[in-house]
Copies of this chain bind each other. A is one copy, B any other.
Amino acid sequence: MRQEFIGTEGRVLLDTVRRLYRRKARSALGKVVKKIHPAELAWIFRHLTARERLEIFNIIKEPEVVGDFLSELDESIRLELISTLEPKRIAAVVTPMSTDDQADVLDALADDLREQVLALMRKEDAAEVEELLQYDPDTAGGIMSPDFLAMDENLKVAEAIQQVQQLSEEAEMAFYIYVVDEANKLKGVLSLRQLLMNTAGKQLANIMETDVVAVTPETDQEEVAHIVSRYNIMAVPVLDHEGIMLGIVTVDDIVDVIREEATEDFLQMVGAGKDREILLKPALQNALTRLPWLLASWVGGILAMLVISSFEEELAKVVILAGFIPVIIGMGGNIGTQSSTLTIRGLATGRVNVNRAWSFISKQVYVGMLLGVFFGVLLGLMAWLFGDSRLGGVVALAISVTMFFATLLGTFVPIILRRLDVDPAVATGPFVTTSADVLGVLIYFLLAKSLLAL
């Protein structure tokens, strides 16, 4: 029994691979690598340098081993390794893969290299891959597998069991039997177990489940993930607009989708692009991806500077007013980010319905007021203790009002963006913090000017 891998065992294997590599013990390395599970080998490759990866990759010779392992690799590492191979070797390596993995690998290649590889593959395989390549990789069509188990509705149970027994290994996830009519239109579904539990003479049409959840090839992968997890199913069939079955999306692909989408949401929230492979990209590209968000906040800072300069006279009279700028914009920015994160996440998980958001909004605003008053009073008390009670009062009031408005911004902006069909995860971050900054200093200096009679 293999227990959890990425504890000490993973690190020990990684060290072994590196040691053998440094010793240039090619044949020993080849033997060790062949014994490692493809998923584990992929993990090890992620922690090697580009040079180590390439040289160790060249030691692995068998197309089957290489194929299994390539399907587990991160996209960018896979591309880095594959692009060093001859078209003929690429064709040999992808041949044992499942069609959806073949499509993933070929999709990443340059157009002319892909054409060369396709020309070298078996005709039927190439045709299936080209079929998949026409779909957007982020849709059901892009992640579906064309290898599924379809049977005619007129078959009897005994005939169906015979068909299952004669299957090649290709239908990788044969848990469900999809029942179709002569035109290949999906009529119903049956689990392998339901098949076994019925008597030999029954027709599939009479025992199949007819209420099937299905998607179209254009359905967004995030929506497919929602459906699979909502209905607790192992695979969802993909149908074209006439109901003809094109493929299935299996739950193990969905697991990857959910993980990827979460990572993308995280990155977007801090303006680090939406490419989940950003960490594997060169530094300059990394910096360029992060630049626009920082630029937005830079512009916000300049606006705040202009607001403050317009109060230069008042500042000159009470210089220490400047000291409270960080706490006011800090509290506004933080409560704004909390509110926008709760709202964005609520929208993403379906907890918040964009068309019935009022109870959510009113609760958030109430929470914002509670927290605003709390921190305002806390600062007021402190100021009173240390003697400067009038200035303290101004700052306290400014904090409360700023936190209240920042909550409003953080709650409304994502909801409005969603209504306008803009992804709230992308645009909310810089807008909310920047507006909270500028609004905060404006509120603060206006209050100071009028209440301190400057």
Contact = CB atoms under 8 A, between A and B. Distances in A.
Copies in the assembly, this chain: 2
A308 B294 contact: no
Instruction: Report whether over half of chain A's contact residues are helix, strand or loop; otherwise say mixed.
Output: helix
A252 B232 contact: yes
A63 interface: no
Interface string A312-331: 10011001111111111111
B4 A219 contact: yes
A367 B309 contact: no
Give the most central of A40, A227, A254, A323: most B CB within 10 Å: A323
A292 to B, nearest CB: 11
A284 interface: yes
A374 B287 CA distance: 10
Give the most central of A1, A259, A290, A335: most B CB within 10 Å: A1
A211 B371 CA distance: 55
Given A164-B196, A351-B280, A437-B326, A215 B342 contact: no
Contacts of A196: 161, 164-165, 192
Interface stretch (A83-91, A124-132, A353-361): A353-361
Contacts of A228: 252, 255
Interface residues of A, number: 132
A384 interface: no
Interface of A: 1-6, 11, 37, 39-40, 43, 46-47, 49, 72, 74, 161, 164-165, 167, 174-175, 186, 192-193, 196-197, 211-216, 219, 223, 225-234, 239, 243, 251-252, 254-256, 258-259, 262-263, 265-267, 269-272, 278-280, 283-284, 286-287, 290-291, 293-294, 297-298, 300-302, 304-306, 308-309, 312, 315-316, 319-331, 333-335, 337-338, 341-342, 345-346, 349-353, 355-356, 359-360, 363, 366-367, 370-371, 374-375, 378-379, 382, 433-434, 437, 441
Given A297-B331, A301-B324, 8 more contacts: A234-B234, A279-B352, A286-B367, A298-B331, A298-B378, A301-B326, A321-B322, A330-B433
